[in-house]
Structure 1
Amino acid sequence: MKKSICVYCGSNPGAAPEYAQAAQAVGETLAQNDIRLVYGGGQVGLMGLVADACIDAGGQVYGVIPDFLHQKEIAHPRVQDMRIVTSMHERKLMMADASDAFIAMPGGIGTMEELFEVWTWSQLGRHEKPVGVLNVNGYYDKLLEFIDHMTEEGFLLGKHRAMLMRGETIEELLEQFEAFEHPGMIATLAAGQV
């Protein structure tokens, strides 16, 4: 069982109530399984809902927030272990180092950037931790179709496409994470398939 899982998600709640329900389920499930939540430290949107649910269920929460957001009072006041950093780069690295796996819930461009960066790090052999998307309400359907298109067009190896897992529930992702075996760094970097 993973000890710490990083959750990337929106600083907005989204248009559908299923997103908030999923955020609450993620926070509660992590707490119930004694898995520490690692996240971006905010009290707004899905970020705040995940943290609230985890804290309310007795779980441990590790937040990392850059000082410019902390000054705007976006930081969650109930997080037990909050780290304040100087840049977004430092934030992402600290979150990655503190985590055993990564989940991207619905979110905006920040969530997409975090997801693709941590998946790329895995592809390049910088870590061997599982990465998955929580496909709430079909949110990631079109993105996953495009990623399949990348693979079909020869820009992504099949074994690295398979590294990005997909679950409709947090329980599905946790099961996949436990069975995950890293396929190794690509052997064809010179061929341009990064």
Structure 2
Amino acid sequence: MLYNKNDWPRKTIALQLPRFVPWPPDTTVVRVPKLSLRNAGWKKIGMPVTRLSVKSYVDMETGEIIKKRDMFEQRLPVPSNASLRWIEQLCIVNSLGKKAKELCVFLLKMRNSRGSFVLPLANLIDVYIHRNGTVLRISRARHSHYDLIGDIAAAGVIAQEQALGSLFQKHARLSAQDVLEESAAYYAWPGIFRGRGSWVSES
């Protein structure tokens, strides 16, 4: 039986173009300080690491060129500098202790695109506790892990129980199917299946 290409299901992807884009004549390349790179986890710094410094943006709706300082005054959404944001995130994560850092990395993998997590934070903590198998003294384990959550929150990664700090939030316009597919981050995490395997073998 032959299939026509029009018979296959299609998924429409809506492209969201940014309203404000950098104005090239007012954009320069600057070096990232070595101290910032070391704090972000760089072990060896050979070639200079650079980023873009944007002082003006073009409003794609009006064609107007606006200074960044004026955008702040007018409360317009100033695009974040992705490379600088990434370095700042790494600096914060690397400032945590070993156990808090490992838990923090796990939680960041479980972010959704609405500034929160794919599951309630309490559920994610329980899953993380059981990542290598069933933990019998769950109350004690929860207590110690909530202490780690306190360290993570103090660093600014978590703002509230179900809200990440602004620097670590992800935002995107998603379809209903995209929202469901976000849970793939949870089910694709290998610790989930290692834990379930242990539960099955011990039951």
| Coarse TM-score class (shorter-chain normalised) | under 0.3
Would you tell me which structure has more strand in proportion to its own residues?
Answer: 1
Instruction: Give the TM-score normalised by the residue count of structure 1.
Output: 0.21
The TM-score with structure 2 as length reference comes to: 0.20
**Greater RCO structure (CA 8 Å; 6+ sep):** 1
